[in-house]
Structures are given as structure tokens and as C-alpha cells.
Structure 1
Amino acid sequence: MKPNTQQLQDLTIQVRRDILRMVHAVNSGHPGGSLGCTEFLVVLYQYLMERKEGFDMDGIGEDLFFLSNGHISPVFYSVLARSGYFSVSELATFRKINSRLQGHPTTHEGLPGIRMASGSLGQGMSVSIGAALAKKLNGDNHLIYSLHGDGELQEGQIWEAAMYASAKKVDNYIATVDYNGKQIDGTTEDVLSLGNLKAKFEAFGWDVLEVKEGNNIEAIIAGMTEAKSRTGKGKPVCVLLYTEMGNGVDFMMHTHAWHGKAPNDEQLEKALAQNPETLGDY
């Protein structure tokens, strides 16, 4: 049975606590984008994707997800742990020496739920397309999902992959863009304008949807369900998810400053007070 909106909201708040505590503990990591994508990843893993029990790299007979903007690993690790892939207590090892939870996800650590190493931006779409084509070759009608930062779309490899996906009718693939308008050095508009992103993807032959409330659980469910309904029709699907970097922590929102900066003790206390414990801290 799928969780209701309140259960998804409770998990979202707990994941936010995990993110803040993980990054604070080692004074290292990327809280901004992690907090901005919390609702999306919670909905994806808890509501949207068809997942099997356990984990294997092949992923036959289930939907697969690839995180392209690997620096938001804190939210990914938290959602994976709280979705049963590994023990929640392991979150305490984030970014420590010999931990399986490195700053950017890696496959050689053997962490359940991780199917590609990500950190070098721009590669996740290419990997996802390969996985989607493998599904087609295997007669497996499950879907491939990926997540990308909007700043990541400044990478040329993204557009090579986008061109390929439409040309080869990779229509079992939904790529979501975390459209928060911010990257490490400032706004995407100032660093390198993305122009009309919807028109760009449409010009590359994609079916494009926009989710204007990308931090609203019900809006995400509605938008992603619509995206799912558009698969299998000859075009790859792109979802532009309008989010707020640092969402859920007032002093981290509306700025790019927390892209890759950890809160100090006082800031952590303030941030956690805005996100009261729901499901138990690790």
C-alpha cells in the first residue's frame, strides 16, 4: 500500500534532519541541493517507482533511478536507508574514511541502491539512456528515472545525450531537472544562462512537463504521475521541477550560499528546530 501525504511529509522532515546532521558532523557536504530535492526523492522511492525487495546491480523487473548530480548524496543516502536498502545507523559514517557513504556516490563501495558513480557532472543522462535501452532489449517494460542539477545542464555531454535519446526514441526514460536557478558560484542566469529550458528540450525532441511547486508533495505526485503516463509514446520525457535550494530551513533558502557549506553548531540547532523529529534520528 502506498503511503499517504502525511506519511510522505513525515519522512521528508526526517530526511531533512538526516541531511543536516550528516553534513554538520563532518563539516563537509552539500546541504542546499539536498534539501531542495528531498520531497522529490521521497516521492520517487516511496510512492512512484516500482521497486523489488533487496538490491542487485541488474535491476531486472523494476524501475531504476540514477542520480547525476552526485554532490547531493546526503539526501540520496538518507532516502535509500529509510527505504530499506541499508541500515539507517550507517548514515553516521557519511564522508568518513573507509565509509561506504562517500561525498559522491561510488559503486566500488558496494552500497545497496547505488548503480553508478556520480560526481563528474553531465554523465547521468548517458548512463540512464544506456539502462533504458537495455530494458528495451530485455523486453522489460519498467522505467528509468534520473535527476540532474540545472547548473549541470551547462555540460555539453547532456545535450549530446538529449539528442541521442530523442533520435533513438528512448521513451521509457524520465529525466528530472532540479530547477532552482542556483549553482555553486551564483545564479545560473549569471554564471551561464540556460535560456528557455523548456523550449530547448522540446527542440531536442523531448516531451517536457513543468512542476511549478517542486517542494510540494502532492504537486510532485501529480506531475510525475503525468510524466509516467507520457512514456511509451516515442519520446523521452523531461520534467522541469521548480525547487528552492535549502528548502525547509529558512536561513538556507533564497541563496546559493549553502550549495556546499555545512552548518555550525548554532545553525544546526536552529535548522533542526524548524524540522522536529518525526521518525527517529539515527
Structure 2
Amino acid sequence: MVLTVQTIKDLEQKAAKAREVVVKTVYNVGAGHLGGPLSATDILVALYNHILNIDPDNPDWEQRDRFVLSKGHSAIALYAVLALRGYFPVEEMNTFDGMESRLQAHPDKDLLPGLDMSTGSLGQGISTAVGMALGAKLKGDSFMTYCMIGDGEAQEGQIWEAADVAAKYKLDNLIVIMDYNKLQQYGWGEDNTRLNPILDPEAKWRAFEWDVITIDGHSMEEIISACQKAKETSDKPTIIIANTIKGKGIHFMENNYLWHSRVPTETEYHLSIKEIAKGGLNHGS
């Protein structure tokens, strides 16, 4: 797919719609995360509408690109993007986190088409992605494996064990994207020097012999360009450090740790929907 100005505008409008679905779902069911899903939405929309080689009508296609959402607590954003892409009816979002729902609070690949891994225990998703990429190498398959991690979960030792293995086996078919929104669940008070969950991630990943690309994680053009560059990298895995804003798109949620997981009031809900709609219209104008 050629990247044109119109393509970028279309993706931005899809991202606005996905954010709307996320907020509506959390408000309607009275549960769910908002901050992290909203920071990840643009990346997920770019992946599922432009980057990944997938077929919603054949979700188990053997040669599809794989995607692992290691930060599984942001599943609601992934569900919104999958629904809008045609994997299941958008109306099913209203069952989110229900006892019998396919849309659990964390992804369950045995319940929902389009999921490549069940995740939620932070730090573990990247290990699965490394296994998928290594398996593809051993079998001679050409698909790419993508994995989104959170900056908070990058404090887990398992992240770096997986990073070490991926470099050892030269997994150039593995692309990891860090949603670098720099704000964890409970925040860091007034001491801004402690704001970032992980400091200088570029240096850390380079030390593990990964190719490192840093981008604006809300720029469709930069997201797509970075993924294309990563696909062309040889003999090493790639980490894309995506600088994002937690709660992106809603001013009173942005960079506010209180919105990590909270249900909007009726007033907050209507204000959120208006802000999202305005942002989408501005992008599409």
C-alpha cells in the first residue's frame, strides 16, 4: 500500500474512531484501562490497517504476520482496532470483561480470532514473540513478528533476557515497539526526574545489539516509515522507541496517571467523545 497524504488522513480518522470505541466501551461497561490504550492506539491502527500482512477473513493463515501485545492490560485498544478491521462485530465490544465474553480484560487467544498470544503478565509477551520469530527462521517462513511492550514492563528482567536471545540468533524478522509514554500506573509524584519508568532506553537496547529507531508514536508517517526500515534491517532485531502521550486525544487524561484505569463520569464521557471527534475531523480536513 502506497503511503500518501490521503492514506495518512484515513489512518488518523481510523485512530480517532478506535479511541471513540475504547472510551465508549469503558464508559458503557464500567471497567477497563484508558491511559495506556489511548497512547497505543495510533500504533495499533497503523499496524492493522497498513503494516501487517494479515487477512481478517482467514485469521489463522499460516503465513500471516504475528503480533503480540505484551502490555496486555491495554487489550481494549487492540480489540477496538480488531473489531473495526472486521475480525468481529463492533457491537461485541459492549461485552468487554464480561464473564462469558470473548473480550477479556487481557487477551485470550483461545477465545478471539486475530489474537496470536494470550498476554497480561508483564514482561512475558516479548519472550513469546522471540519464540515465534525463531520458529519462523528455523522453518524458513517469511512472516514478520511484531511485539508491543510498555515502558513500565521494561523494568522486568525477562524483557532483557529475551532481548539477549533475540540478538544472539540475529532475529531480523522481529520488530519490537515500545509504547514510551513515560508514566506508570501510580505516577511518580512531583519529582519529574523519576517520571520515566526506564531511562535512556536507546542506550540500553543498543547495548543488547539491537537496531534502534526513535519516533513520534502518534505520527502515522513515522510509525510506518520506522516499520519499513526495520523490515529492511539484516542480522539483528529492531526496537522502535515510540514516544507517546498517556491518555492521548483527551486533554484532561493526557499525562495524568489517575487515568491509567478509571471509568469516566457522564460529563467526562461526553467531553471525551467531543474531543476525539474534533481531533479526527481536524486530521481529516
TM > 0.5: yes
Alpha-carbon displacement from aligned partner over 1:68-126 (angstroms, at most 9, x marks no partner): 001111110010111111111111111122111011111232x0111211111001110
Q: How many residues align?
A: 274
Q: For 1:240 and 1:67, how far apart are their aligned partners in 2?
A: 15
Q: For 1:193 and 1:95, how far apart are their aligned partners in 2?
A: 28
| Equivalent residue number for residue 177 of structure 1 | 178
Q: Which residue identity does 1:29 align to in structure 2?
A: G
Alpha-carbon displacement from aligned partner over 1:149-189 (angstroms, at most 9, x marks no partner): 00010111111101111011111100000001001021496
SS in 1 for 2:259: coil
Q: For 1:208 and 1:136, how far apart are their aligned partners in 2?
A: 21
In structure 1, stretches of 5+ residues that fail to align are none
Does 2:11 match 1:8? Answer: yes
In structure 2, stretches of 5+ residues that fail to align are none
Aligned equivalent of 1:47, options 46, 50, 54: 50
For the 8 Å contact 2:144–2:173, the answer to whether it is kept is yes
Alpha-carbon displacement from aligned partner over 1:213-260 (angstroms, at most 9, x marks no partner): 211222222222222222xx1101000000000101011002212111
| Equivalent residue number for residue 167 of structure 2 | 166
Q: For 1:69 and 1:125, how far apart are their aligned partners in 2?
A: 10
Alpha-carbon displacement from aligned partner over 1:186-217 (angstroms, at most 9, x marks no partner): 14963785232111111111111100x21122
Per-residue deviation, 1:42: 0.5
Normalization by structure 2: what TM-score? 0.91
For the 8 Å contact 1:55–1:112, the answer to whether it is kept is no
Change (3 A) 1:193 1:61: closer
Change (3 A) 1:32 1:193: closer
Structure 1 stretches of at least 4 aligned residues deviating more than 6 Å after TM superposition: none
Does 2:97 match 1:102? Answer: no
Alignment of 1:92-171 (within 5 A): 92-109=94-111, 111-171=112-172
Alignment of 1:1-282 (within 5 A): 4-57=7-60, 59-109=61-111, 111-187=112-188, 190=194, 193-211=197-215, 213-230=216-233, 233-276=234-277
Change (3 A) 1:153 1:189: farther
For the 8 Å contact 2:183–2:197, the answer to whether it is kept is no
Q: For 1:20 and 1:129, how far apart are their aligned partners in 2?
A: 32
For the 8 Å contact 1:55–1:85, the answer to whether it is kept is no
When the two chains are superposed, the root-mean-square deviation of aligned CA atoms in Å is: 2.0
